[in-house]
Amino acid sequence: MSQYDYDLLVIGAGSGGVRASRTAARLGARVAVVEERYLGGTCVNVGCVPKKLLVYASHYAETFQVAPGFGWHLGATRFDWSELLANKDREIARLNEVYRGLLQNTGVTLFEARARVLGPNRVAVGDREITAERILIAVGGWPWKPDIPGIDLAITSNEAFYLNELPASIVIVGGGYIAVEFAGIFNGLGVDTHLCYRGDLFLRGFDKDVRDHAASELRKKGITLHFNTEICSIAEEPGGGYRIQTDVNEEWCAGLVMYATGRQPMIDDLGLEHTAVQITEAGTIAVDEFMQTHEPSIYALGDVTGPVALTPVALAQGQALAQNLYGGDDIKLSYKNIPAAVFSQPTIATVGLTEEEARASYERIDIYKSSFGPMQYSLSAIGERALIKLVVDRDTDRVLGCHMVGPDAGEIVQGLAVALTAGATKADFDRTIGIHPTLAEEFVTLRQVAE
Ligand code: NDP
């Protein structure tokens, strides 16, 4: 008999924690999970899933606009925000129960309580103490806001999913995934939407052509982009709404202010000071390539470790960790060619190197790109343009990066990620037959190197 209550105690029932628990239990480990908030973590409750539902909802405005071109004439349409939220909440409650079932069915014990680490093998769970041979910290992140006067008046994405009503106007601060996605959501739902970013051009880290193209498309959709602008203070207006002071000496009024300025690991008061676990300068838990912390019995994965805060990465980490610890495997994850999508309108999706990254590491780079009007808008006045781009190493012919802005970009680039992972060359793309007529076929018909 083991001297511990469990072989593995997982703190956090989000994507990574649940995947690690289920896999470990299936491999014969005695596993418990402790979760104090909601099953499924950020992704299911206040992230990917509800966000995508809101993105779908906001797209209908454009669908209705396109419909007459195809001969469809709708009667008066009406949008009901509370109905959407109620349906969204029902779907999330269903998913919470799916997660509960997944844990139950694999024999994982669930404690719905707060966990606090007491030592390398001891955790306080609510008012009891539990011992485990190994502890996995998968507590995720939480929105972070800079400290400026009136910042408490601003919401984050967490609250955006539960607004009682839609504002007439909103200022969204930030230029990353969440800011750009929510700008599309609010704009599509008829809110006068302003995005305020401190730098020259949002979506830092994405390909420059993609960033330019996205900025132009978002503007066309009616979103006002304020670059090189920071907010100095926020104050309540007597008649409702907020007055916002910027560092470019402008004063704005808005019905709501939302900050999407990044997320921070949720490690406060987790008791890590009772262990040898170390924290990086970025505030994340330091781990090696096998997700082990400086305390040998404690592991960590997902957003709490950064730097790639994406659900599929946490899932892959959870799977690999459990297989390594209980399945005799020796998996070292590769963080190369991780595909990602920003569910903006139009969607951005990308895998591999940007042109700028490729030029910094390779001598001779060829760029192939094309911009065109998607067929689905050809019978309407919607002037949306798609962009596709390939970054190729001329010396080896390897495709180093694929980038797209346009309808279904996430669906399309997922397939291309397989090709890049397999080491596809431009010649492989060229000898692939297209599916006609699609947007995706453009990726296999690019022949002209861009100037
Ligand atoms: P990001 O890190 O993507 O973006 C944060 C933004 O806030 C950046 O534009 C940053 O500017 C800006 N910022 C940071 N500090 C300040 C400040 N003090 N004042 C003004 N602006 C500031 O964070 P998000 O919150 O958008 O998302 C968090 C993470 O969640 C993402 O990185 C991603 O990993 C994940 N996510 C993934 C999604 C997906 O897969 N579709 C969707 C949503 C989130 P600068 O660039 O200048 O640093």
The residue whose CA is least distant from atom 35 of ligand 1 is: 309
The residue whose CA is least distant from atom 7 of ligand 1 is: 261
In this structure, the residues whose C-beta lies within 6 A of any atom of ligand 1 are: 146, 173-179, 181, 197-199, 204, 230, 260-263, 309-310, 340-343
- Provide mean pLDDT across the span 11-33: 98
Q: Which residues of 407-425 are buried (b: 16+ CB within 10 A; e: fewer)?
A: bbbbebbeebbebbeeebe
* Span from the CA of 263 to the centroid of ligand 1 (angstroms): 7
**DSSP character at residue 331:** -
What is the DSSP secondary-structure string of 385-444?
Answer: -EEEEEEEETTT-BEEEEEEESTTHHHHHHHHHHHHHTT-BHHHHHTSPP-SS-SGGGGG
Beta pairing, strands 128-137 & 6-11: parallel
pLDDT at 1 over 80: no
The residue whose CA is least distant from atom 30 of ligand 1 is: 309
Closest to 352 (Cα-Cα) out of 205, 161, 179: 205
The residue whose CA is least distant from atom 38 of ligand 1 is: 177
* Span from the CA of 227 to the centroid of ligand 1 (angstroms): 15
Pocket test of ligand 1: the residue of 46, 55, 177 to mutate, having most ligand atoms within 8 Å of its CB, is 177
pLDDT at 60 over 80: yes
Catalytic hit among 59, 213, 294, 436: 436
* Span from the CA of 447 to the centroid of ligand 1 (angstroms): 35
The tens digit of pLDDT for each residue in 210-258 reads 999 999 999 999 999 999 999 999 999 999 999 999 999 999 999 999 9
pTM: 0.97
* Span from the CA of 175 to the centroid of ligand 1 (angstroms): 6
Domains of the chain, start order: 6-142+264-326 (3.50.50.60), 151-261 (3.50.50.60), 340-444 (3.30.390.30)
Structure tokens at 272: 């890590």
pLDDT at 117 over 90: yes
Rounded CA separation 273/268 (Å) = 10
- Provide mean pLDDT across the span 421-426: 98
One-letter amino acid identity for 241? G
The residue whose CA is least distant from atom 2 of ligand 1 is: 262
At residue 413, what are phi and psi to the nearest 5 degrees? -70, -25
pLDDT at 307 over 90: no
One-letter amino acid identity for 442? E
Give the list of residues 6+ apart from residue 84 with CB closer than 8 angstroms, or none: 53, 54, 57
436 is an active site residue: yes
